[in-house]
């Protein structure tokens, strides 16, 4: 039990603390109002390429289809591995052709990629494809197909040489 | 181009010839006799070369052949049509595989049929590029490039030259740019959506954006310093409405349609972005701004390939979503919602500038996340923010009027884009009957030699589900060899606009249908 003076002082301190708390709260709420939204933790679809689940797959070509009716759309190769057959997705066949990458039954192949589930079973999304000594990147490091984007990263001379030479722009 | 013009000229000749033959028949013995009722006069054709008159700004994005592979490119500009089939001038900015160029149109031709479809050729110093167009009115339409090894689609609108001053662009603008971002040797699909205030004097304030680069999300960012816009000080600005701008830290060339719409093309080669900015309604946006049923349409790329998504949701004005219906075609993998039970929420930024987030979760299919910027209380740009997806587009308030096949009957132009193993772009016109059946004609470009198709007859049907605000069925039979069928789900925005997403497992196609007068 303190003196009256102490009680008054405590009351004043409480008021000051309360006022300060309110002021801080107002400042904080103002700051929150002006703050930009942070990037939300993105939800992941089961069909998304997951770099953390990359594996290497090695085997022999059982069949190769440039325009498979089985999703995802694009070229698919069925590979016989030591643990069974695997359906490998390679993206647009036009990209493989333009990189002079072709496959035939019986060819030994090696892929780096990641499995995704589909209603028709698992599909291995290839990021790197190797046939003999030829190695091509099918997907970027983040898993997106290079077929519709990659040529913009080529050296200018290569782009100029192979682009719409002489055609209207 | 010449062949196509000849073909269209032939088409016009056939139509005119048929009309003349029908009129001429009155003098023959088989004509109506004395006392019989004369046939009603033919209504005048809705469209002709005179329908395309004045100066039009266009924007499109697509795929060109570059170093043997398909490569994203953007094309934005303006052309001047003389109402008689001639292009008398214009200017465009292209961001193509070999660089960024500004090219003057020195001429060109066009031809518009009675259904509003037509062909357009734009000539610059490098030659002539060709396009199929379809007029939804005399002031706007859909456009698709039809050259071999180059395909693209977009829109064009008549320009208001009074808006070609910095002062005319004042107020808030919401934008949606899509393209590719190149960093070193890494090329990534990218989407940037956001908003800014133009101050009427070339300054930009309150700039906010969200970027999604190969699935890597920026979160909401303020514009880096140096943002501006400026009409070109020479005649390119005063005559064609061209200018330059720095938006969201990127450099652009732009063409103003009017004070409410501006078309942008990125100039930070080898990165490339293209898209439109829309004047933002001048209100303080909050949760209540999003209230009612909305249909949406987005498209882009996933790690399996092309992705297109359409659907609808109801926002309650208080942060809750119900009635979520979704059709997603992820490179042939179809996901339909609701699959289990769907719940959803949304937020609108405290700063009242129209940004926000939106999420729904299906107990079986998982979570779908988006950010948006509201153009108004009835429309916004929409970007998906789920992992390994780069997809964006629009949402629009659905009509509260009853929807029926009869209320939707009429003439429409359409613009579809997508593809299977290669990019495809479609432009056409159809007439929908009160029973839901339709017939029409389309052109499309499949991005390869010999894969440009013109005047392909189409037919099919629209089947509405329930009250029509949900997922409706739209089947299109294209009469070519071999015959092709396109199965879509349609979400009705209102009696003038429909959103379509293809649900075939062998192709990914999305697009819109817009009513003609």
Give per-residue pLDDT as tens, B206-254: 999 999 999 999 999 999 999 999 999 999 999 999 999 999 999 999 9
Q: So what's the pLDDT on residue B25?
A: 32
Structural domain ending residue among the three candidates B127, B158, B189? B158
Check B389 against A45: CB less than 8 A apart: yes
pLDDT surpassing 50 at residue B391: yes
Supply the DSSP string of B463-476, one letter for each residue.
E--TTTTS-EEEEE
If pLDDT is split at 50, 70 and 90, which confidence band does B16 have? very low
DSSP state letters, B132-185: EEEESSSSEEEEEE-STTEEEEEEEEE--GGG-SGGG-EEEEEEEEEEEEEETT
The per-residue pLDDT for A155 is 77
Residues of chain A above pLDDT 90, percent: 50
Do residues B170 and B187 both lie within one domain? yes
Distance CA B398, CA B496 (A): 11
Do A49 and B388 make contact, defined as CB atoms within 8 angstroms? Answer: yes
Q: How far apart are CA B73 and CA B356, in angstroms?
A: 29
- How close does chain A come to B304, measured CA to CA in Å? 6
pLDDT digits (tens, 9 = 90+) for B248-274: 999 999 999 999 999 999 999 999 999
Would B243 be classed as within a structural domain?
yes
Question: Do B191 and B239 belong together in one domain?
Answer: yes
Tell me the chain A residues in contact with residue B503 when contact means C-beta distances shorter than 8 Å: none
Domain ranges for chain A: 51-151
> Which among B98, B182, B184 has the least Cβ separation from residue A163?
B98
Query: Is the confidence at residue B153, as pLDDT, over 50?
Result: yes
Is the predicted pLDDT of residue B81 greater than 70, yes or no?
yes
CB contact burial B275-311 (16+ within 10 A = b; e otherwise): bbbbbbbeeebebebbeebbbbbbbbbbbbbbbbbbb
Q: How much is the pLDDT for A164?
A: 53
- Give a yes or no: residue B40 inside a domain: no
Instruction: Identify whether B8 is part of a domain.
Output: no
Over 70: is that where the pLDDT of B163 sits? yes
Residues B243 and B336 in one domain: no
Neighboring chain B residues of A158 at a CB cutoff of 8 Å: 67
Query: What is the average pLDDT across A119-138?
Result: 94
DSSP-assigned beta bridge partners for residue B109 = B86, B121
Residue A161: the pLDDT is 60
The predicted pLDDT at position A1 comes to 37
How far does the CA of residue B187 sit from the closest CA of chain A (Å)?
6
Q: Which domain holds residue B335?
A: 287-397
Residues B259 and B305 grouped into a single domain: no
Residue of B nearest to A119 (CA): B333
Q: What is the pLDDT of residue A165?
A: 54
Are B369 and A89 inside 8 Å of each other by CB? no
Quick one: pLDDT at residue B443?
Answer: 98
Confidence of residue A78 (pLDDT cuts 50, 70, 90): very high
What distance in Å separates residue B99's CA from the closest CA in chain A? 9
Q: How far apart are CA B299 and CA B383, in angstroms?
A: 9
User: For chain A, give me the number of helices (H) and strands (E)?
Assistant: 3, 6
What tens digit of pLDDT does each residue of B393-444 get?
Answer: 999 999 999 999 999 999 999 999 997 767 899 999 999 999 999 999 999 9
| B187:A99 CB<8 A | no
Q: Same domain, yes or no, for B262 and B320?
A: no
pLDDT score, position B414? 98
CA distance B62 to chain A (A): 10
Check whether residue B364 and residue B460 sit in a common domain: no
Q: Which of B231, B256, B279 is the last residue of a domain?
A: B279
Report the C-alpha gap between B59 and B76 in whole angstroms: 4
Measured distance CA(B255)–CA(B195) in Å, rounded: 17
A133 touches chain B (CB under 8 A): no
Which position has the higher pLDDT, A3 or B485? B485
* pLDDT bracket for residue B185 (50, 70, 90): confident
CB neighbours of residue B186 within 10 Å: 17
- pLDDT for B11: 30
Q: What is the pLDDT of residue B415?
A: 97
* B33 within domain boundaries: no
| Paired tokens of B200 | 């009427």
CB-nearest to A159 from B97, B219, B422 is B97
Kindly report, residue by residue over A33-75, the tens digit of the pLDDT: 345 777 766 677 788 999 999 999 999 999 999 988 888 999 9
- How far is residue B479's CA from residue A13's CA, in Å, rounded to a whole number? 86
Contact predicate B177/B270, CB 8 Å: no
Output the six-digit token pair for B54: 């004045």
Residue B391 covered by a domain: yes
Q: Note whether residue B28 is domain-resident.
A: no
Residues of A in contact with B217 (CB under 8 A): 39-40, 42
Chain B nearest C-alpha distance from A163 (Å): 4
More confident position, B113 or A30? B113
Dihedral sign, Cα of residue B477, residue B479, residue B483, residue B486: negative
CA distance B243 to B234: 10
Looking at the partner chain, which of A143, A149, A167 has a beta carbon nearest the beta carbon of B180? A149
Interchain pair B182, A167: CB under 8 A: no
Would you state the pLDDT for residue A14? 47
**A121 CB near a chain B CB, below 8 Å?**
no
| Pick from B186, B188, B386: CB nearest A44 | B386
For residues B149 and B447, the answer to whether their CB atoms sit within 8 Å is yes
**B227 lies in the same domain as B118:** no
Nearest CB to A167 within list B127, B422, B423: B127
Chain B CB contacts of A125 below 8 Å: 303-304
Nearest residue on chain B to A169, alpha-carbon basis? B126
Q: Give yes or no for A30 touching B (CB within 8 A).
A: no
Across the interface, whether the CB atoms of B388 and A167 are under 8 A apart is answered: no
Q: Could you give the angle at the alpha carbon of B211 between the alpha carbons of B205 and B213, nearest 5°? A: 150
pLDDT at B26: 33
What is the domain-level CATH number for residue B376? Answer: 2.40.128.120
Q: Using an 8 Å Cβ cutoff, are B211 and B223 in contact?
A: no
Domain-ending residue, one of B279, B308, B334: B279
Cβ pair B186:A167 closer than 8 A: no
Output the domain CATH number for residue B427.
2.40.128.20
Q: How confident is the model at residue A118 (pLDDT cuts 50, 70, 90)?
A: confident
Distance, C-alpha A140 to centroid of its chain: 8
pLDDT for residue B171 is more than 90 = yes
**pTM score, whole prediction:** 0.88
Nearest chain A CA: its distance from B25 CA (Å): 47
Question: Closest to A152 (Cβ–Cβ): which among B129, B180, B368?
Answer: B180
Residue A99 has pLDDT above 80, yes or no: yes
Residue A101 to residue A96: CA distance in whole angstroms = 5
Q: Across the strands, what pairs with B322? A: B314
Residue of chain A minimizing CA distance to B183: A153
- If one counts the domains in chain B, the total is 4
Inter-chain touch B305–A145, beta carbons under 8 Å = yes
Contact B388 A162 (CB under 8 A): no
Q: Give me the torsion for CA of A20, A22, A27, A31, rounded to 10°.
A: 140
Do residue B387 and residue A43 have CB atoms under 8 angstroms apart? yes
Token readout for B453 is 């198709």
Q: What would the 3-class secondary structure string for B288-305 be?
A: HHCEEEEEEEEEEEECCC
Q: Judge whether B89 lies within some domain.
A: yes
Give pLDDT, residue A166. 58
Q: CA-CA distance, A56 to A83, in Å (whole number)?
A: 13
The residue to which tokens 């469209």 are assigned = B47
Residues β-bridged to residue A115? A124
Residues B127 and B169 in one domain: no
Same domain, residue pair B165 and B246: yes
Q: Are residues B208 and B102 in the same domain?
A: no
When comparing pLDDT for B190 and A152, which is higher? Answer: B190
Chain B residue with minimum CA distance to A118:
B333
Report the gap between the CA of A36 and the closest CA in chain B (Å). Answer: 5
CB contact under 8 Å between B124 and A168, yes or no, is yes
Interchain contact, B97 vs A93, CB within 8 Å? no
A72 to chain B, closest Cα gap in Å: 5
Q: Which residue of B has its CA nearest to A123?
A: B304
Nearest CB to A159; choose among B66, B218, B367? B66
Whether A158 shows a pLDDT value over 90: the answer reads: no
B304 pLDDT more than 60: yes
Question: How distant is the Cα of B130 from the closest Cα of chain A, in angstroms?
Answer: 10
**Strands annotated E in chain A:** 55-68, 74-81, 84-91, 108-118, 121-131, 134-137
SS3 assignment, position B335: strand
Clarify whether residues B216 and B134 are in a common domain: no
pLDDT at B23 over 60: no
A89 touches B at CB < 8 Å: yes
CATH no., domain A51-151: 2.40.50.140
Residues B123, B72: one domain?
Answer: yes
Name the range with the highest mean pLDDT among A19-28, A95-104, A157-166.
A95-104
Predicted confidence band at B53 (pLDDT cuts at 50, 70, 90)?
very high
Q: Which residues of B touch A168 (CB under 8 A)?
A: 124, 126-129, 147
Q: Are A164 and B96 an interchain contact pair (Cβ–Cβ within 8 Å)?
A: yes
Nearest to B385 among A42, A164, A168 (CB): A42
Task: Name the residue among B185, B222, B330 with its Cβ closest to that of A36.
Answer: B222
Average pLDDT, chain B: 92
Q: Is residue B58 part of a domain?
A: yes
Chain B residues closer than 8 Å to A159 by CB: 66-67, 97-98
Query: Shortest CA distance to A74 belongs to which of A59, A93, A87?
Result: A93
CA angle B314, B318, B322 (to 5 degrees): 25
More confident residue, B449 or A78: A78
The stretch B310-322 carries a mean pLDDT of: 98
């Amino acid at each position: 039990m303190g003196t009256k003076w102490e009680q008054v002082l405590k009351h004043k301190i409480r008021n000051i603390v309360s006022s300060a708390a309110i002021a801080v709260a107002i400042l904080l709420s103002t700051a929150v109002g002006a703050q930009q939204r942070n990037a939300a933790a993105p939800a992941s679809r089961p069909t998304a390429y997951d770099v953390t689940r990359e594996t290497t797959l090695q085997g022999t070509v059982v069949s190769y289809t440039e325009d498979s009716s089985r999703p995802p759309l694009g070229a698919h190769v069925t590979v016989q591995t030591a643990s069974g057959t695997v359906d490998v997705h390679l993206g647009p066949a036009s990209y493989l052709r333009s990189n002079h990458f072709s496959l035939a039954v019986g060819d030994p192949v090696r892929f780096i990629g990641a499995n995704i589930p589909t209603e028709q079973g698992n599909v291995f999304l290839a990021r790197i494809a190797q046939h003999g000594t030829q190695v091509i990147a099918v997907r970027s490091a983040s898993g997106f197909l290079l077929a519709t984007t990659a040529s913009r990263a080529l050296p200018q001379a290569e782009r100029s040489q192979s682009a719409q030479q002489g055609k209207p722009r | 181009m010449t062949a196509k013009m000849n073909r269209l000229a032939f088409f016009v000749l056939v139509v005119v010839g048929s009309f003349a033959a029908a009129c001429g028949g009155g003098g023959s013995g088989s004509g109506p006799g004395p006392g019989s009722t004369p046939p009603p006069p033919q209504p005048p054709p809705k469209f002709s070369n005179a329908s395309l008159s004045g100066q039009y700004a266009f924007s499109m994005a697509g795929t060109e052949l570059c170093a043997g592979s398909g490569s994203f490119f953007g094309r934005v500009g303006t052309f001047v049509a003389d109402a008689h089939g001639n292009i008398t001038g214009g200017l465009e900015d292209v961001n193509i595989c070999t660089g960024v160029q500004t090219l003057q149109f020195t001429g060109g031709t066009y031809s518009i049929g009675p259904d509003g479809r037509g062909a357009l050729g734009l000539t610059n110093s490098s030659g002539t590029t060709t396009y199929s167009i379809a007029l939804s009115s005399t002031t706007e339409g859909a456009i698709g490039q039809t050259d071999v090894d180059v395909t693209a689609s977009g829109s064009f609108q008549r320009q208001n030259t009074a808006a070609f001053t910095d002062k005319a662009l004042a107020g808030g603008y919401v934008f949606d740019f899509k393209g590719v971002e190149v960093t070193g040797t890494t090329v990534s699909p990218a989407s940037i959506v956001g908003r800014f205030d133009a101050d009427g004097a070339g300054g930009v304030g309150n700039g906010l954006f969200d970027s999604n680069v190969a699935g890597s999300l920026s979160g909401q960012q303020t514009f880096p310093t140096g943002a501006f816009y400026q009409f070109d000080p020479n005649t390119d600005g005063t005559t064609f409405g061209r200018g330059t701008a720095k938006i969201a830290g990127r450099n652009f060339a732009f063409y103003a349609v009017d004070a409410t719409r501006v078309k942008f093309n990125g100039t930070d080669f080898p990165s490339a972005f293209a898209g439109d900015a829309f004047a933002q309604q001048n209100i303080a946006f909050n949760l209540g701004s999003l209230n009612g049923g909305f249909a949406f349409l987005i498209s882009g790329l996933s790690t399996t390939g092309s992705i297109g998504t359409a659907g609808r949701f109801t926002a309650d004005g208080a942060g809750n979503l119900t009635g979520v219906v979704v059709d997603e075609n992820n490179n042939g993998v179809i996901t339909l919602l609701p699959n289990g039970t769907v719940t959803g929420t949304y937020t609108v930024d405290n700063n009242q500038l129209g940004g926000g987030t939106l999420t729904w979760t299906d107990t079986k299919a998982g979570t779908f996340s988006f950010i948006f910027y509201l153009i108004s209380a009835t429309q916004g740009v929409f970007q998906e923010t789920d992992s390994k997806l780069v997809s964006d587009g629009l949402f629009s308030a659905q009509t509260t009027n009853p929807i029926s096949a009869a209320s939707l009957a009429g003439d429409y132009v359409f613009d579809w884009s997508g593809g299977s193993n290669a990019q495809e772009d479609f432009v056409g016109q159809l007439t929908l009957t009160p029973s839901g059946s339709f017939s029409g004609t389309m052109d499309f470009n499949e991005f390869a030699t010999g894969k440009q198709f013109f005047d392909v007859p189409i037919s099919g049907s629209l089947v509405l589900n329930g009250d029509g605000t949900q997922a409706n069925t739209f089947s299109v039979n294209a009469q070519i060899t071999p015959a092709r069928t396109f199965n879509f789900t349609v979400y009705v925005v209102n009696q003038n606009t429909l959103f379509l997403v293809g649900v075939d497992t062998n192709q990914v196609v999305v697009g819109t249908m817009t009513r003609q007068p």
